[in-house]
Each structure stands twice: as C-alpha cells, then as structure tokens.
Amino acid sequence: MKIHFLSRSLHDGGHVSRNNSAGHLQACASVAEITELAIPSHCVEKLDGPWRKLRSLRRIPGVGRTLIDRIKEETRSRGPHVLIHTILSGWDLRVAGRLAPVWDRFDHRVANVIENLDPARSARHLSRYDLAACFCDDLRGEIERQVGVPTLHWPAHTDVLGHVSVGDRRPVDLLEVGRRDRGRYERIESFCRASSERPFILDFSTRPNAGHSAPAAVEFERLMNAYARSRATFCETPATAARFNGRGPLTARWVHAWTSGCTVLGAKPDGRGVDDLTDWPESTLELPKDPEDQIPFILDVLADERGMRRRRHRNAAEALRRHDTRHRIASLLDRLGLDRPDRLRAKLAAIECKAESIEAAADGGTSS
C-alpha cells in the first residue's frame, strides 16, 4: 500500500495552519510508503484583490501538469494507492480538479477536510472523492447531506507518539497560542507582568519573524517544544470565531496540549461528537465565568503540584489512546476495506505500550 499525501507545500512560506500537516505526515510515513505531493501555497491561498486572485488561478494549470507527471511516476508500483488530500479551503479543491487525467490511477481518493468550507459551494469538487474525512462532525454531516459523498469523522489528531511528554521541567507557567479571549488574556498578562513573583506567561508564535519562515516540520517542532515546556495552556471553544460558523469541533490545540502533558484551562468545545473525545476527568478545567474569579482560580491550579502532575500523565496517556494520527489512519483503512499494514499494527501496539508506561510512572510517583 502507498499513501499519496497531497497538500499545500510544507516547505514554503504558506499559512501557519499547514504546520499541523507536518505532524500528520510524520505519523503517516511511520506506517506506510509515502509520496508527498506538494502544492505551492501561493497557488491555493485566497488572495485579496482581483488581480492577485487572477494570477493565482493562472498558476493552477501549471501546478496540475507538474503533479500529473509526478503521479504517473509514483503510481507505477503495485497498489493499493490511497490519495489523502489535505483541504484547507475551496482553493485546494481547484488544484485537484486539474488532476482528472490521473484521477483513476488512485484506488481510493480521500478529501481530508481540516478547515471550514462551504459544502454547497464546494459540492462539485468534493463529489470527485470516494470519501470525505472531516475534522468537524457537524460539518461532516452537512457535507454528506449536501454533496452526497460518503464521510468519516476524523477529529483533530497529531503524531502523539513522536511528541508525547510528561517531563516536569516546565519553566513556562501559562502558554497562549493563536486565537484567544483578548480581554481575559490582557488581564492575565497584565497581572503576570506586575511582579517577578507572578506566573510566567508566554505568548507563542511559531513564526516570530515573518520574513524568515521555516519549513512546516520545523515550525511544528517549535510549537510542540513550547507545549512540552509549559505547565498549563488555554483552549477555548472555537464556536465564537466567525470562520467556524457557530460550530464547536475539537481543534488541534487540545490535542497538542494533551500530548505535551499540559493542563488545559478554558472551555470545552460543544459540537457533535466532542463529548466522547474529551470525557476523562480534568481534560479541560473550566474557567469561572466571572472575570474577577479567573486569576485566583488559575493561581490555585498552578499551586497544586499533585494536580498538575496527575493531569500531565492522564492527558498524555489519553492523547496516545485517542488522538494519535495512526488511529485515524486505522479507521480510514477499515472504512475503505483495506488491511492494516504490519507497520501500522506495530505502531498501534507501541502507542498502547507507551500509554501504559506513562500510567505506571504516574502510579509510581516518577516522571519520564
């Protein structure tokens, strides 16, 4: 079996959201033969202004021709050949539309939807796929109803086995990454600046210098390293963000935090299917609704060393068992009626072994 990983290039200066794909690719490469089919980010990103959009559209045919030649070469071997196309927007689907001459060379064609898109506007393009795997169960249902293509709920995931951490050397007390409640952040950040005795809060960016972006794999390692050096992080339901259209799926920030043994502070997402993904004790510590109560609550959490340690091990073990990319690959192959490769079976066994060792370390009073 060969997996053909079609996505925006992980080696150029594309949107930071592509960094999650680096973890997915790492995990896929550990269990199957992989072909990385890269689309230059400037060809698929939605650009402002008619002339920029036109230039982007004009590049797509050339990219399509390049990919066609590559696909012909990579599908000469015996199959099955499984295409997994990572989709961040409708612009990604436009590129796939240029692959008609080689579309039938894939035995299975999977649209991996990891961002919000409009199913109605994308129906013509999505209907080309045999299966649409979607990060959001509410959006998945809309795709199945409006497009008619079979779907699979593929919640947020990452290479947990490759990045799991329960070490107790964590100089960062509180970590903020990306989207946040601005009012809450400003109150807490102001409080933490007031004295050297207060908690240390880090506002993290994988791309601190916009003029010197790194490959996605490097930026992803920076992100996971920051989580692994942090005691607690903030995660909020995405439903309030305009781009989620009121939907509340589990997003990658939870998975990254749990993988790294962080205590999660905030509010759980409330979308369909989320409860089963977050249903262990203390997976998210809900912040008080009253802003005046939030800082005292956070200080109490940080002062409870036993609680921090308990959550560190439990969150990491649950992330291994629930949210490693290899579990998603297994569910996909099962759905497609394909045998699980021996390498995948071995990695799934290693995941369970690692989870058991983390639980044993927690019971024994040591961190690893």
pLDDT digits (tens, 9 = 90+) for 284-329: 999 999 999 999 999 999 999 999 999 999 999 999 999 999 999 9
Rounded Cα gap, residues 37 and 77, in angstroms: 16
pLDDT of residue 54: 55
- Counting as low any pLDDT under 50, the low residues of the chain are 368
Helices (H), 195-341: 216-228, 252-259, 291-303, 305-323, 325-336
> Could you give the C-alpha distances from 244 to 32, 116, 118, 150, 363, in angstroms and in order?
33, 6, 11, 22, 40
In a domain, 347, yes or no: no
In a domain, 72, yes or no: yes
Shared domain check, 296 and 223: yes
In a domain, 358, yes or no: no
- Helix, strand, coil share of the chain (percent; to 5): 50, 15, 35
Rounded Cα gap, residues 74 and 262, in angstroms: 40
> Could you give the C-alpha distances from 187 to 134, 290, 292, in angstroms and in order?
36, 13, 10
Shared domain check, 59 and 7: yes
Tokens linked to 274: 């989320």
pLDDT of residue 255: 98
pLDDT of residue 58: 57
pLDDT of residue 53: 55
Shared domain check, 210 and 257: yes
Strand partners, 111: 85, 132
Shared domain check, 121 and 12: yes
Task: Give residue 61's domain range.
Answer: 2-153
In a domain, 241, yes or no: yes
Tokens linked to 1: 């079996």
In a domain, 170, yes or no: yes
Share above pLDDT 90 across residues of the chain, in percent, rounded to a whole number: 72
The secondary structure element, H or E, covering residue 110 is strand 108-113
Tokens linked to 113: 């939807």
pLDDT of residue 238: 85
Shared domain check, 306 and 176: yes
pTM to 2 decimal places: 0.92
- For the chain, the maximum distance between any two Cα atoms, rounded to a whole number of angstroms, is 64
Residue 48's CATH number:
3.40.50.2000
Shared domain check, 176 and 141: no
Q: With the CA atoms of 238, 239, 245 and 248 taken in that order, what torsion angle do they form, in degrees rounded to the nearest 10?
A: 90
Number of structural domains, the chain?
2
In a domain, 362, yes or no: no
Shared domain check, 190 and 98: no
